[in-house]
Amino acid sequence: MLSGAAPAIKTESPKFLSYRVKPIKNNALLINSNVNLLLKLGKNEPSFNQFKTDQNGYIYLNNLSNDEPLEVSVLSIQTPIKTPMPVISSLL
């Protein structure tokens, strides 16, 4: 048994949703690759966004707050685009 005060357990639930996307091409992960996501929220027009996968081949969509279904389509690109594009700014 513990003597004295026990430490308080504090867990904070996230207020927003986060997703981890795992793009695959020809049964292989796309590691450190540029990919394009087409994001469509409800009946709105789709938005086109460029992401770079991490060393594990994942893309992270963090802190999303929406009341309508979100459709995500992934397109791989062969040559990287050097100008960064806004990332899901229209959805927040």
pLDDT tens for 59-75 read 998 888 888 888 888 87
pLDDT band at 79 (very low <50, low <70, confident <90, very high): very low
Is 30 among the domain residues?
A: yes
Domain that holds residue 39: 16-76
Is 86 among the domain residues?
A: no
Rounded distance between C-alpha atoms, residue 39 and residue 17, angstroms: 15
Counting the structural domains of the chain, the total is: 1
Quote the pTM value. 0.60
pLDDT of residue 87: 43
Is 5 among the domain residues?
A: no
Is 47 among the domain residues?
A: yes
3 burial level (CB within 10 Å; 0-12, 13-18, 19+):
exposed
Per-residue tokens: 33: 């690759």
Collect all residues with Cβ–Cβ distance below 8 Å to 75 and sequence separation of at least 6.
35, 36, 37, 38
Is 81 among the domain residues?
A: no
pLDDT band at 55 (very low <50, low <70, confident <90, very high): very high
The mean per-residue pLDDT over the stretch 74-83 comes to 56
